[in-house]
A and B are shown apart, each in its own frame.
Chain A
Amino acid sequence: MHVPDGFLPLEVGLTGQGLTAGLLWFSLDRIRRLPQPTAGIPKTALLTAAFFAVSAIALPIPPTSIHLLLNGVMGIILGIYVFPAVWVGLLLQVLMFQHGGLLSLGVNSLIYGVPALLMALLFHLRRWLPERPWVTVLSGLCGSGGVMLSVGLFYGFTLMVTPDYWDEVLVRDELWRLVVWAHGPVALMEGVFTILLVQFLQRVKPELIPTVR
């Protein structure tokens, strides 16, 4: 689920790059102001590795094949580090496997990174909620929500920039069939996986989940 180069008008690609640069600057500025800015780099590097690796593992869900996104769980664990992590992962995917493209890197970073940031914010709602069962509910919502928001952004964006010479009815049908429906099981899987992972981390290494201040 990457917007490829060659399908994107130049001005849209450059706008995406500009917005991505702004979000990267915002994230890095917030990280720089943390008491220990490098403290989050180890987990950021490990989750970037996971994000990069799962994109190369295709799961056959007929009539297409999809891959896990992991942006929801990354948002929960990385917090403000998540947008740079997504950007680095997508850059490596472009350079190694030509998934997406350099011009569309900005747009793809927004499609994956903005839902991850929103899920990080959503998970912070646990500050005002009782521990049980709300952490489990929020974990599931964030894991699934990251996927669903990314799919929604991808769907809307693809329809918005599709040139007139493509058959719009066919494009809409293909997007519903091959993107929206096919990612339903992925959203479910990532929701369950995120619940299990958060429960595991709370027992074994709770400091990995950003504390709410």
Chain B
Amino acid sequence: MNLGDRCAGVLFFSAALLWSGVVSAHAVQLQHRTTRAIAITARHGDEPLSGGQIVIFSPQNKSTPWQRGILNAKGNYVFVPDWEMSGTWEIRVAQGGHGGVLTIPISDAPAAPPTPAIPEVGLPVPPVAPPPEVIQPPADFSPIQRTVMIGSVVWGLVGTALFFARGNASHARS
């Protein structure tokens, strides 16, 4: 192999390396990390508010949305707030004239999850996500409770009707 052939081989090898570098630069990089998020669930009565709009305001700016999105078919939406922004986050959900406002107080940034190492092997263990913090929404009324509440109001109004009907009848007799 003469010098020219060697130079051509080196040039070809370098070009191939360069080309592979270009290719890898265009490849999609997929990564993942475990993080802490807030899950919102919106319902109207017993039905999920599927497809409803959701707008999230950070504690620092209550006029310009920090994030906007659409609820999924089950009325759920998950977002990762900026945990450095402590204060009250405001979440607004609306669909077809129905809507609600939810406030979530975030006092300070959560402590970074520990990254323990296994002494024998010396390999770091991936961070473990903290257990999910479930915030129960205000309890909705059960059907029996609703029936009793409606019954109480109706009872009161019927009593009012009877009271005034009796007064009017006695007034008419006199």
Measured CB to CB, the residues of A under 8 A from B are: 1, 3-7, 36, 38-39, 41-43, 45-46, 48-49, 52-53, 56, 58, 64-65, 92, 96-97, 154, 158, 165-167, 170-171, 174-175, 177-179
Whole-angstrom CA separation of A179 from B95 in the bound complex? 10
Q: Contacts A56-B146, A166-B55 given: A42-B97 contact, CB under 8 Å? A: no
Bound CA span A39–B65, Å: 54
B92 engages A7 (CB within 8 Å): yes
**B72 in contact (CB, < 8 A):** no
A-B contact pairs, 17 of them (CB 8 A): A3-B97, A38-B167, A41-B164, A42-B161, A46-B157, A48-B157, A49-B157, A53-B153, A56-B150, A64-B44, A92-B153, A97-B149, A165-B64, A166-B53, A170-B53, A174-B96, A175-B97
A65 in complex: contacting residue of B45, B100, B150, CB < 8 Å: B45
Q: Would you call B47 and A154 a contact (CB within 8 A)?
A: no
User: Chain A at the B interface: mostly helix, strand, loop or mixed?
Assistant: helix
Q: Which of B47, B53, B153 has the most CB of A within 10 A?
A: B153
The answer to whether A41 and B161 touch (CB under 8 A), given A49-B153, A52-B154, A167-B53, is: yes
Contact partner of A6 among B53, B101, B157, CB < 8 A? B101
Judge whether A38 and B168 touch: CB under 8 Å: yes
Measured in the bound complex, the distance between the Cα atoms of B44 and A92 in whole Å is 19
Q: Quick check: B100 and A4 within 8 Å, CB to CB?
A: yes
B interface residues, how many (CB within 8 angstroms): 33
Q: Mark B150-174, 1 if CB is under 8 A from A, else 0.
A: 1001100110111011011001000
**Chain B residues closer than 8 Å to A154, beta-carbon distance:** 97
